[in-house]
Amino acid sequence: MKKLAAACLALTALAAGGCGSSGSASGKTVVTFANWAAAEPATAPGIAAMIKKFEALHPKIDIKSEPISFTDIEHQLVLEVQSGNPPDVAELQGNYLYTLAATQDLQPLGGYGSGAFSKSVIGSELKLGELGGQLDAIPWTVGPIGLWYNKAVMKQAGLKPAPPATWDQLLSDAKAIHKKLPKVIVLGMDTTSREFALDAAWPVMTSFGAVPFSGTTSTADTPAMQSYLSFMRTLAKDGYTPEGQKTGFFRQPAASNQVAFTVDGPYVKGVAQSINHVSDQKFYQTWGVARLPTGSAGQHYSTPTDHQLVMFKNSANKTAAWQFMQFLATSQYSVLNYTLKYENSIPPLASPPAEVAKELDNPITKSFVKSIIPEVIKPAWGAHYSAAYLDVMAGIQKAMTSSEPISSVASGMQTSLKSDLGS
């Protein structure tokens, strides 16, 4: 924060402006962009190239990138809002949008994101940025969660190389795989104490009919939740999944066929090929992706890991900020050279131009677009999500690692949620 304040004072002295959009010493408009893309080695070169390209196309605008880690950006942005110096544009994901919206400092985007822009974007993806009927964020990269399955591993275990339709079928497949290939991770699932882990768990819980809370109401102590927790205990006790690992942990072993199934967004392909350097054709022969299996609810669900873009009210040059946001999200150049190349995500385009459509014409992307995106639901994001996720993930971890009766684990989750939600 001291460095941020010093930077603000320097900009103020030079341009009589704040840390938001201002005039630079060269007379150009400066747009600050807080993001984790520039903070991660895998995507930093890509976002630097996008900024350079945008500045070449808009020579009167300078983009000042503010790298902040994914883990820290939510808290850091709140601090910057409270200090009166938020950026012009920021990258968000999941509940981060709701946290920042609660500051009442986000710029409504309806006036910018209407008309031609709204028609160019997948309608359901645009809706994910709406809060209370108001557009507060636009989609940048699209990443719904699906079930990746390794056809080569399934064949080695004597199974048909097809995704399981139900969680019971997955457990049956898991038993066969674990017996035949005991060193293979059967199922990769994020069970860490993170908001993202609850995002990933949400569609699985929902498929069992289990919803741990909604708003300030706790609904964790139910037969449906007990059924879900019993499923998670089986995964851990039978050695099908390691507890306490991040989603990204499973991507590297997936590259060497040491993972049979993993619950993840579109990112597996890019990470795996960066390690094993196999051709697209070989990758598609080895891996497929499908909707998450169904549980007792009898329906498929997914949740988004989309990266979104927001603008802040203090931006002195909102037109320039919007031009940059639109460039990142929907320009053909950005889609081809960043969204697909570095993020390994799906662009939010409703009708991709021919060159982009050609790149999307593969079995993995088609499955995400046609089968998985339509199943996307929002978790119970909102003001109370940050207070509740630890309680839920602690309950899941207890179910996986202890011998405490499942009914007691569900009851304990309920008690903790009631306390933290104030219900």
Q: What's the mean pLDDT in 277-281?
A: 96
Q: What is the model's pLDDT at position 25?
A: 53
* Reported confidence tier of residue 11, pLDDT bands at 50, 70, 90: very low
Dihedral sign, CA of 398, 402, 406, 412? negative
In the predicted model, what is the mean pLDDT of the chain? Answer: 93
Cα separation, 216 vs 104, in Å, equals 21
Q: Which residues pair with 214 in a beta bridge?
A: 217
Q: What percent of the chain has pLDDT over 70?
A: 94
User: Per residue in 84-112, pLDDT tens?
Assistant: 999 999 999 999 999 999 999 999 999 99
Q: What is the model's pLDDT at position 8?
A: 41
Is the pLDDT at 299 greater than 50, yes or no? yes
Is the pLDDT at 18 greater than 70, yes or no? no
Q: What is the model's pLDDT at position 7?
A: 40
* Reported confidence tier of residue 1, pLDDT bands at 50, 70, 90: very low
Higher pLDDT, 298 or 413: 413
What is the set of domains in the chain, with CATH numbers? 2-143+305-375 (3.40.190.10), 146-303+384-421 (3.40.190.10)
Q: What percent of the chain has pLDDT over 90?
A: 90
User: Per residue in 371-384, pLDDT tens?
Assistant: 999 999 999 999 89
Tokens of 23: 């005039």
Q: What is the model's pLDDT at position 175?
A: 98
Q: What is the model's pLDDT at position 297?
A: 81
Q: What is the model's pLDDT at position 49?
A: 98
Kindly tell me the burial class for residue 173, based on how many C-beta atoms sit within 10 Å of its own C-beta (0-12, 13-18, 19 or more). Answer: buried
Cα separation, 212 vs 388, in Å, equals 9
Q: Which of 296, 263, 148, 138 has its CA nearest to residue 196?
A: 263
Q: What's the mean pLDDT in 395-405?
A: 98
Tokens of 137: 């964020």
Is the pLDDT at 244 greater than 80, yes or no? yes
| Contact assessment for residue 88 and residue 322, using Cβ atoms and an 8 Å cutoff | no
Q: Which residues pair with 90 in a beta bridge?
A: 34, 310
Show Cβ contacts of residue 188 under 8 Å, excluding neighbours closer than 6 positions.
241, 245, 247, 249, 250, 254, 259, 261, 262, 263, 264
Cα separation, 408 vs 276, in Å, equals 45
Q: What's the mean pLDDT in 122-141?
A: 95
Q: What is the model's pLDDT at position 16?
A: 33
CA atoms in the 13 A half-sphere facing the CB of 163: 20
Higher pLDDT, 186 or 7: 186
Q: What is the model's pLDDT at position 23?
A: 60
